Each structure stands twice: as C-alpha cells, then as structure tokens.
Amino acid sequence: MAKTQYTPEETAFRNSLVNEGDVGAVSIRKQKPPTDKKTGAIAKDDNGNNVVTYSIEFAERKETEEGETNLLQFANAGVPLFRRGKGLRVTWFTCGAEFASTILGVNKSSLEALPIHSPENQTRVFIGALNPSFMMKGQKKMFKLQTVAKFASDLDVVKDEYDIKHLLGTQGKSATAKREGADGEWIMGLNPKTNQADYIVERVQVQLSTEHINAETGEITVTNDNAWNHITIERYRTPAVSNAIIPQMENAFSGEISVINPL
C-alpha cells in the first residue's frame, strides 16, 4: 500500500490523540468500485445502482501494557503531551455514504465530489471526530480498534492473498510481516503448531464497545461487543534470529509458506 501523505490538519488531529484508548475518525476517501470476482462487473446495490464505497481512517492511541511504567507520564502528571501511549493503531474501514453522513456527520456532497483514491491522487475529506459514538437499540456504541495477529504459515491463501504476496515486501509495497521499523529486524514468534520461529502478520480491524450506566450508582462501564479481545503473538528471540539475515520466501504466493527454523 502506498504511504499516506497526511495534510497538516490530519497530522495535528492524529497528534491530538493523547490519552490511552483515544479513538479518532481522521478522514475519508473514495474507493474503487467493488466488482464481481467472476464477471468483473461493478457490484450493484438493492436498487440496481452501482455500489459506491468509501474508506475511513480510524486511529487509536495504544494502551500501556499491564505492568509497564511510563516514567515521563508519572513525572509530568496533568500534562497531556506526556499522556501519550505507545503509538497508534491505524486501519481503514469500508463504508457507504449514508453511514459516513449519519454516524460521523460527513457532508454527502463532499463525498460525491471526491475522486477515486490512488497513490497519485490522495484527495480525502477531513473528519476529525474524537471518540465518536452513536446510539443503537438504546445503547451507546463506541468505535475501538482490535489487533489481530497471525503466524505467516497459518495465513489463508485466498482470504490473506495480499499478506502472503507481500509478506517480505515487493517493489512498491511494504512488507506485511511485522518488523522493527521500515527496514529493521523481523519480529518472529514461536509457532506452537510447528515449534519453529515464524513471521508474524498483524492486522487492525474496527470493533464496537458498549457503554453501560448503573442506574443506582451512575457508574459507567464499557464492555467489548461479542467479548472481543486483542489477538497478539509474543516475540520469540534467540541469538540466531537476532543475527540472521532472513531470506525472501520464494514460494509465498503459491501458498507454500516457508518457515525459517533459526535453531
């Protein structure tokens, strides 16, 4: 995927997500029309019209892991700048114009005027909604971002086609495997199915949480819908992994995931 070129307005808003768990709807872009995989024809809605879809960038300030201490935050209590968590979770969420307008207040005329997003034309409509929520069946719903990690050898050759094809990066495409920075060390996990070191692919998806208010005490609690939780994989370190130059996976796209055994 092409790197997003953020506007000053978008950058300022993303930087404003200072509290752990803050969620922001940053901006929205128009996507290529979805097509039928068999015929290649543009998909139709229930009324026979061509489907038009948009993609919203959601960002969430990560939480500090349990047991960790943020010394700067402790030493600068009351200063929002030092309340930032551990970076941002980011994902793009597909939706229709009605959802964007009704739930996030995006002007429909602005959406219709958008060109289809491409690496050369990254025109977007800024949203800038902090911790957006909406009512559903009398309950307050809030957007949250869930991390879902998989081992490379567990990827599905159909559903995870993109992740497999670009696992270690291809020309013009970033690696989908987890690593330290753009060109850093690969972050491996120990796959219990094979007992071997394996690449990790992490994806972020939008989920919902529900606010509950105790009628007697007024206490507010929040639960994740369908009891979702983050799915993470612990990093596996050995001297061999740390110092190895891990080769390209020749058969990745064929579905024959080659797992490197560093032991």
**Which distant-in-sequence residues (6+ apart) come within 8 Å of 158 by Cβ?**
none
Strands (E), 46-195: 54-61, 88-95, 125-130, 133-136, 139-151, 188-191
Which one has a higher pLDDT value, 60 or 248? 60
More confident residue, 68 or 157: 157
CA distance 24 to 144: 9
Q: How many whole angstroms separate alpha carbon 6 and alpha carbon 2? A: 12
pLDDT digits (tens, 9 = 90+) for 118-151: 888 899 999 999 999 999 999 999 999 999 999 9
Domain range list for the chain:
8-131, 145-243
Q: Model-level pTM?
A: 0.80
Tokens of 86: 């551990």
Q: State the CB neighbour count (10 A cutoff) for residue 163.
A: 20
pLDDT digits (tens, 9 = 90+) for 53-69: 999 999 999 876 554 55
- Helix/strand/coil for 56: strand
